[in-house]
Amino acid sequence: MNDVRPDGETSTDSGETHLVMKFNSSYLYAAGIFVAVVLLFTVGTALRSDAVIQSDDASDAHPLFEVVTRTVAASPRPAELRLRGRTETIRAVTVRAETGGRVVEAPILEGSPVSAGDVVCRLDVDARGAAVDQAEADLRARQLEYDAAAELMARGHRSSNQVAAMEAARDAARAQLRAAREELANIELRVPFDGYFDGRDAEIGDFLRTGDPCGTVLQLDPILVIAEVAERDIMSLEPGMPGSARLLSGQQVDGTIRFVERRANPATRTFRVELEVPNPDGAIRSGITAEIRLNLPLEPAHRVPASILALNSEGDLGVRIIENGDTVRFLPIELLSDDGEQVWVSGLPETAQIIVVGQDFVSDGTRVEVREAGASR
């Protein structure tokens, strides 16, 4: 309600006061909204930060993947080198003709045992017998001439030069007789050593020239078991070392290394090794497949379960171990031998904590929770 001044004008103080109060109320309302927004923003930010912190705490509290380990230590390994090989004769000789002629006898059956000096082929004598008779007659004549000249020289009717010429003629006749007898002896083709007559190349009626074969003779006692050895293993082998071989038939034989080649095969980069094995009855034949086992000097190695072997991204064979208490590390290894469920390997530290359960689910550098095999949870 307007006030009436004494001069008759209406007063406006109430309206102004009302406007001032209305203005102050709007300002306070806006300020309150601003404060509320600021508080809401601050509280929301705090809540989000707390949620992140709680999330990080929850992440840190999340349990690591658990693996089971076993501690293994290196021990002397009874090293053994296994090789795939075959049996082979220690000697195999082809008996060849030393003179020409037709075969008239072949007395030895193929596969029969023979002794040194046995005749396997006999050639026709032809004129060789007559040549011996002629050489014998010449020698007798030259001997008579020499004897007569020596007697005359003793009486002073022959010079020493004449007697020396007669002596030379006699010696030449003697040499001719020896050559004729050797040529006659060559019609018999003989075995050079004890063994087995393994194959015939000439039959009765065949004509042999000098150098043509009659048959092959094998020496089977002792017999060799040969194999090719890789470069990495050859330095461990020496002649005289013991070894054994298991034949394809299942027979087990023992022997010693007879020969280790010093020059590698240029095509395969391997070295020939010969194991000499007694074979007195000739029961072991040549060319039989065999597995050779050679005992090597003891070497430190680890025996681990075959199930823990793994491959890394490069395809290397290895084992996963624990380092620094909880970190996985992949170590490449060399497989030395396989005994079935257990294998001998090299390349691990003297003492290693190997992962035996869970190794397929972790990678190099991963942190894990470790539990020793046999320990309770």
- pLDDT of amino acid 10: 45
Please name the residues in contact with 285: beta carbons below 8 A apart, sequence gap of 6 or more. 87, 220
Q: What are phi and psi of 150, to 5 degrees?
A: -65, -35
For residue 19, the model assigns a pLDDT of 44
Task: Quote the pTM value.
Answer: 0.58
Q: Return the pLDDT at 30.
A: 63
Write down the pLDDT at residue 364.
85
Is residue 328, in this structure, part of any structural domain at all? yes
Predicted pLDDT at 40: 62
| Domain shared by 222 and 283, yes or no | yes
pLDDT for the residue numbered 377:
56
Helices (H), 156-267: 160-185, 231-234
The Cα angle at residue 206 between residues 205 and 210, in degrees rounded to 5: 135
Cα pseudo-dihedral 145, 147, 152, 153, rounded to 10: 110
Answer for the pair 98, 210: CB distance below 8 angstroms, yes or no: yes
CA gap 71, 373 in Å, rounded: 9
Asked whether residue 192 is domain-assigned, the answer is no
Going through 230-283 in order, the beta strands assigned E by DSSP cover 242-247, 252-260, 271-277
The reply to whether 109 falls in a domain is no
Residue 350: CATH number of its domain: 2.40.420.20
CA distances 45 to 41, 51, 113, 332, 360, Å, are 6, 10, 105, 51, 43
Same domain, 222 and 278: yes
DSSP lists the bridge partners of residue 302 as 345
328 lies in which domain range? 66-77+299-372
Domain shared by 164 and 134, yes or no: yes
Residues in the chain with pLDDT < 70? 1-62, 374-377
Quick check: is 7 in a domain?
A: no
Q: Backbone phi, then psi, for 236, in 5-degree steps?
A: -85, -5
Longest dimension (CA), the chain: 213
Q: How far apart are CA 96 and CA 216, in angstroms?
A: 9
Split into its structural domains, the chain has a count of 4
Under 8 Å between Cβ of 247 and 253:
yes
Cβ–Cβ under 8 Å, residues 256 and 240:
yes
Give the domain CATH number at 176: 1.10.287
Calpha distance 319→72 (Å, rounded): 12
What pLDDT, on the 0 to 100 scale, is given for residue 223? 94
> 137 — alpha (psi -120 to 50), left (phi > 0) or beta?
alpha
Can you tell me which residue has the tokens 């003779």? 217
In a domain, 209, yes or no: no
Task: Locate the DSSP E strands across 299-366.
Answer: 299-305, 310-311, 317-323, 327-332, 334-338, 342-346, 351-357
Q: Are 114 and 107 in contact (CB under 8 A)?
A: no
Side-chain half-sphere CA neighbours of 287 within 13 A? 2
Residue 317 lies in a domain: yes
With respect to residue 273, please indicate whether it lies within any of the assigned structural domains: yes
Residue 332 has what pLDDT? 92
Is residue 170 in some structural domain? yes
pLDDT (0 to 100) of residue 67: 87
Q: Collapse the DSSP code of 145 into the 3-class scheme (helix H, G, I; strand E, B; otherwise coil) and give the result.
A: helix
Take residue 255 and report the two structure tokens written for it: 């022997």
Give start and end residues of each alpha helix (H) in the chain: 13-61, 128-155, 160-185, 231-234
Residues 227 and 276 in one domain: yes
CATH of the domain at 231: 2.40.30.170
Are 304 and 291 in the same domain? no
